[in-house]
Structure 1
């Protein structure tokens, strides 16, 4: 049996650890140990199938690439112990029981807990260097943190547990400070700890990097969220003197990290922009930062500089200053695949404001870039914006044109949108274009159409019936008869019995040579 791709193997392991609690994983392990996994096989490079004996025999599918599609036929109706059991059995089938046990320990975090018992003993202060005074500059505090705890990353090969006591200890040094100063100090502490995590991930071997990235990001998530919360509390009007110095230090710290043209664990662009967004209302600070970013553009020839960040930052600063033309010009010089997640919130904000001239420029920019490389990842957010624009400005045909031109990738969003805005004829035309059958459209949608606009369903049934008949087999004929009965009700509901009679006469005549189909018509009492 060929093993799964290494990256997807670790992805599946991570997904199990993320979606299953420890009790379910433990029960899955016991199922595996007691031999209740009847079989397991690999369907393709990222999918496993298995069968598990519980109170009944349950079938399990594990999709390591898209874990949300993983299924089990047990009544639990969620990610369950049978999934864990199948994965452990799969590991066993490759490399024996030791491999299964190693996977179990990793998912349960047993190896991290063992590591944690060592790193938790990090002292509050080593005493090697004197703590800075309360009025020390942020640079002095930064140097002291580096001297005191700058080697902590070496203890983070398997987890970030070693950094939690460092974070707590450093925050504790300024508990007596006033709230504004304390906030800025805590933000600097979080950046220092995140930087330590960045250094730690560089020591991880290529095989394990994906798993460790997911583990590190999950543990660091509350730290990052706390940073953003603190950033939202910044008040530019209160930031003067030493407080302004701290803000400049934080912005410079994040910017220096974002400028590096290397693979990084955290999105330092967002970390930097969180400060910029709050401080952009301060004209002096904003102008100086925008000028500094413009100077960075002249260093683009330096291969070690992240050019995409420079233009993304300049674009966002321009956006904060309501210079949308400059913002779009800078975004045009970025790697769109990386900068798009920054662009979508900008357009959403302009939609909230309702300036349609500016919105048109942003939407055209997105359309030009997305239409070059159509995929679900990029089209989804764009369709959300198009739907919002079409709802707010229904008389503008441009939004519908964008959505239509993204077909077939935009089918699901466009179909849902036309239902939501009650454009039933357009909705039906879309289903005909795509070739959807009524049974594929969902019971709820068909019920809604039957009540609101039954006439739009008639062409759909016509197309589906023809397709079923042309299958030239008994099952297709039976399906056609079933759909003919539903179609008859639609004709009668619209008081078009005469049209139904003409239609069915045409069907009988057109396919009179298909004896089996004629028999099914007779059995279904469509004809007598």
Structure 2
């Protein structure tokens, strides 16, 4: 950087304005190439006169550049173009770099000017934020982030938006504690909306879908503890403005991508001291809006409010009445089940879980695990509901095969669990030793058919490797009989076993190696 400053912020703005008016993008791009390739061989700055002389090389030819900072239009070059050429552009960039200004802004002069204008406008706008509505906040955020362009890496775009909003913290804004919460909440909602809109325009891939769901999860994890810190301080006005924002977003939401619906229900569930009158007012607002909108997300939001208001039958009827209900994703039901959990209305939860059963047919195990989680909550309070759970899971076979198997084990229904292992062709070697230990301790007799069948299987394979496996199982079987305190049954079985397979020399040798035969 030159020790002689010939540029200040005001001069810099004027230089950007001149470049934006006088240079094409192609010329600036070529000039930037010359600058990056260090083709500006020399530069002399006459600080008092505010004039600059530079030498720029191109294909061995040296072009003389003269810059007059007092009268930029008078700047010239010895090349055939003479003015507004790539050589002068390169010299501008070299001068900017030496004076401590970003040379890249010369190449992107128009964008840099817009950013500067936005920043100066934003400074005055920041003081007005506390008096703005939520709608005004979103208009401000749109303007504040307009220069950030989406790209293929959506998470990178999210981080750019977050970084831009982090800059707001450098300027004190006289928000109340409640407004501070709502303003940060709407920054997060703004980012979610931007990603949802980008997906709608460009189509959804695995990576873009993952970004949206990650944002929703983050939002829902952030809401509850953050609202609780408000110590009951709520703003009826901000609440109404926020729910109005949600209704607008839900009115255009895809029936299978209920992102704003999920955050809306988490917001309601977490909001402290939500009064009956507020819920009733929201129901009216949803009913009025849905008369003109056919959005399933709006319908689901209204149904959730009915459930919060204690109108349980109407809640389900509202959902079921919508044409898109049969194709609804399973994530739709979680807020409703959480509300019933919060109210400890277990009988109603049984009804909902039974009605929901068909929606989980053919779904991923992760989704069905959530379904089973709520069944477990019910059974912990109403053990008699266990039969309903098994009926639901059986209706979802074969998808729920593994889940039923795990539940049998978890609930120590050993006989049914072992029958499922045998039906699938498994043997004791399928499991780690600790898996069978509790069965051996509590109901060792149930392991007998499992071990006996496996021993027979390995003997039929008739090779030494499998004979060794059969011997290992026989030793474990002997332990089971001893655990049952029935050694005589073991002796009787083993005597018959040795007699049956006395002609299999390799097996007899392995039995001796295993010290089962002398």
Residue 105 of structure 1 is matched in structure 2 by none
Structure 1 gap ranges (5+):
1-114
Q: Answer with 361-370 or 255-264: which moved more.
A: 255-264
Query: For the structure 1 residues 150 and 395, does the alpha-carbon distance in structure 2 shift closer, same or farther, using more than 3 Å as the test?
Result: closer
2:221 is equivalent to residue 245 of structure 1: no
- TM (norm. structure 2) is 0.63
Query: Of 374, 379, 389, which residue of structure 2 is paired with 1:385?
Result: 374
CA distance in 2, matches of 1:266, 1:123: 38
CA distance in 1, matches of 2:500, 2:494: 10
CA distance in 2, matches of 1:448, 1:205: 51
Residue 329 of structure 1 is matched in structure 2 by 317
2:200 is equivalent to residue 177 of structure 1: no
CA distance in 2, matches of 1:276, 1:476: 62
Residue 164 of structure 1 is matched in structure 2 by 162
Residue 50 of structure 2 is matched in structure 1 by none
CA distance in 1, matches of 2:214, 2:413: 43
For residues 201-250 of structure 1, what are the alpha-carbon distances to aligned partners after superposition, in whole Å with 9 as ceiling and x for unaligned?
Answer: 667688xx655665787789867755665455678x865xxx43332222
Residues 444, 480 of structure 2: 8 Å contact kept: yes
Query: For the structure 1 residues 202 and 296, does the alpha-carbon distance in structure 2 shift closer, same or farther, using more than 3 Å as the test?
Result: closer
Aligned residues: CA RMSD: 4.1
CA distance in 1, matches of 2:312, 2:337: 10
Following superposition, the deviation at residue 361 of structure 1 comes to 0.3
Query: For the structure 1 residues 407 and 509, does the alpha-carbon distance in structure 2 shift closer, same or farther, using more than 3 Å as the test?
Result: farther
CA distance in 1, matches of 2:191, 2:379: 45
Residues 312, 339 of structure 1: 8 Å contact kept: no
Residue 294 of structure 1 is matched in structure 2 by 287
Residue 147 of structure 2 is matched in structure 1 by 152
For residues 476-502 of structure 1, what are the alpha-carbon distances to aligned partners after superposition, in whole Å with 9 as ceiling and x for unaligned?
Answer: 222112211211121122222232233
Residues 469, 477 of structure 1: 8 Å contact kept: yes
CA distance in 2, matches of 1:215, 1:359: 31
Query: For the structure 1 residues 344 and 445, does the alpha-carbon distance in structure 2 shift closer, same or farther, using more than 3 Å as the test?
Result: same
Residues 191, 254 of structure 1: 8 Å contact kept: no
Residues 461, 487 of structure 1: 8 Å contact kept: yes
Residue 301 of structure 2 is matched in structure 1 by 313
Query: For the structure 1 residues 197 and 167, does the alpha-carbon distance in structure 2 shift closer, same or farther, using more than 3 Å as the test?
Result: farther
CA distance in 2, matches of 1:322, 1:205: 39
Please give the residue correspondences for 1:73-92 in structure 2 after superposition, counting only pairs within 5 Å: none
2:453 is equivalent to residue 463 of structure 1: yes
Q: Answer with 482-491 or 424-433: which moved more.
A: 424-433
CA distance in 2, matches of 1:351, 1:266: 21
CA distance in 2, matches of 1:218, 1:157: 16
For residues 462-484 of structure 1, what are the alpha-carbon distances to aligned partners after superposition, in whole Å with 9 as ceiling and x for unaligned?
Answer: 12112222333332222112211
For residues 353-375 of structure 1, what are the alpha-carbon distances to aligned partners after superposition, in whole Å with 9 as ceiling and x for unaligned?
Answer: 554421220221232332x3354
Residues 280, 317 of structure 1: 8 Å contact kept: no
Residues 346, 381 of structure 2: 8 Å contact kept: no
Residues 122, 166 of structure 1: 8 Å contact kept: no
Residues 337, 349 of structure 2: 8 Å contact kept: yes
Partner SS, residue 177 of structure 1: coil
CA distance in 2, matches of 1:395, 1:263: 36
Structure 2 gap ranges (5+):
1-107
Following superposition, the deviation at residue 437 of structure 1 comes to 1.5
Residue 275 of structure 2 is matched in structure 1 by 282
Residue 348 of structure 2 is matched in structure 1 by 358
2:433 is equivalent to residue 440 of structure 1: no
Following superposition, the deviation at residue 294 of structure 1 comes to 3.2
Partner SS, residue 131 of structure 2: coil
Residues 437, 461 of structure 1: 8 Å contact kept: yes
Following superposition, the deviation at residue 260 of structure 1 comes to 1.7
CA distance in 1, matches of 2:256, 2:393: 35
Residue 347 of structure 1 is matched in structure 2 by 337
Following superposition, the deviation at residue 285 of structure 1 comes to 2.4
Partner SS, residue 119 of structure 2: coil
- TM (norm. structure 1) is 0.62
CA distance in 2, matches of 1:171, 1:221: 24
Residue 63 of structure 1 is matched in structure 2 by none
Residues 167, 190 of structure 1: 8 Å contact kept: no
Task: Report the number of matched residues.
Answer: 398
Residues 450, 457 of structure 1: 8 Å contact kept: yes
Following superposition, the deviation at residue 461 of structure 1 comes to 0.5
2:358 is equivalent to residue 368 of structure 1: yes
Please give the residue correspondences for 1:44-83 in structure 2 after superposition, counting only pairs within 5 Å: none
CA distance in 2, matches of 1:197, 1:408: 37
